[in-house]
């Protein structure tokens, strides 16, 4: 939003809600103080019935947001709890969202993969945990490649936050690999011709 030159978070959020009234939209609190986070969350929630207020699982000191999540949940605020990476976080936050009308559990599978761990077993277990909560859905956050879309689908993950770069690759699903190999060779050749390189 900053890169796009947005200067009013509220005005932008309200315009998005007006343009997309029938889909859930998440807007995040900015404060690192839980009391101020709560005030911001209630204000953000008032901008539209389809808004999910995005709350980080901890503040920057590592203090758990669970007490705040419980309070907001009991006040009827739709929540998107974000930046989770462990099963224990999923369990704890799910319990805190029991009273929530609707909530998202956002697990950063892509960042888990960046550490060298396979995120699929963690995400599969998260799906199983959430099967006990009719009001909650799991988000596969920060995907790194198209394969993540297929992985998320295969384990029954409810939502994946795919970037436009990943979405553009959807047309490649099922592509003939021999044809793809040939296209790649042609691409390499075209690049070399355009570069004007020669080997004496």
State the Cα–Cα distance between residues 46 and 49, nearest whole angstrom. Answer: 7
Q: Is residue 138 part of a domain?
A: yes
Q: Is residue 51 part of a domain?
A: yes
pTM of the predicted structure, to 2 decimals:
0.93
- The per-residue pLDDT for 189 is 94
Q: Is residue 91 part of a domain?
A: yes
Domain enclosing residue 21, as ranges: 9-173
Domains in the chain: how many in total? 1
Q: What is the CATH number of the domain that holds 64?
A: 3.20.20.70
Q: Is residue 40 part of a domain?
A: yes
Q: Is residue 90 part of a domain?
A: yes
Q: Is residue 188 part of a domain?
A: no
- Mean pLDDT of the 150-161 span: 98
State the catalytic residues.
54
Q: Is residue 71 part of a domain?
A: yes
Q: What is the pLDDT of residues 52-81, one digit of tens each?
A: 999 999 999 999 999 999 999 999 999 999
Q: Is residue 20 part of a domain?
A: yes
Check if the beta carbon of residue 79 is closer than 8 Å to that of residue 62: no
Q: What is the pLDDT of residues 81-97, one digit of tens each?
A: 999 999 999 999 999 99
- The per-residue pLDDT for 198 is 85
CA 176 to chain centre: 31
């Amino acid at each position: 939003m900053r890169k796009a030159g947005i200067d009013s978070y509220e005005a932008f959020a309200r315009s998005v809600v007006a343009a997309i009234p029938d889909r859930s939209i998440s807007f995040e609190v900015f404060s690192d103080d839980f009391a101020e986070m709560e005030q911001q969350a209630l204000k953000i929630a008032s901008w539209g019935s389809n808004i999910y207020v995005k709350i980080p699982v901890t503040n920057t000191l590592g203090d758990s947001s669970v007490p705040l999540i419980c309070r907001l949940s009991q006040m009827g605020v739709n929540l998107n709890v974000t930046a989770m990476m462990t099963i224990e976080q999923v369990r704890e936050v799910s319990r805190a969202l029991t009273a929530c009308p609707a909530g998202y559990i956002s697990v950063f599978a892509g960042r888990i993969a960046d550490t060298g761990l396979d995120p699929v077993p963690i995400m599969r277990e998260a799906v199983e945990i959430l099967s006990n909560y009719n009001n909650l859905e799991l988000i596969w956050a920060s995907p790194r490649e198209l394969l993540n879309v297929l992985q998320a689908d295969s384990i029954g993950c409810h939502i994946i936050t795919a970037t436009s770069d990943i979405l553009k690759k959807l047309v490649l699903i099922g592509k003939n690999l021999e044809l793809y190999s040939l296209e790649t060779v042609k691409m390499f050749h075209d690049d070399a011709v355009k570069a004007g390189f020669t080997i004496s």
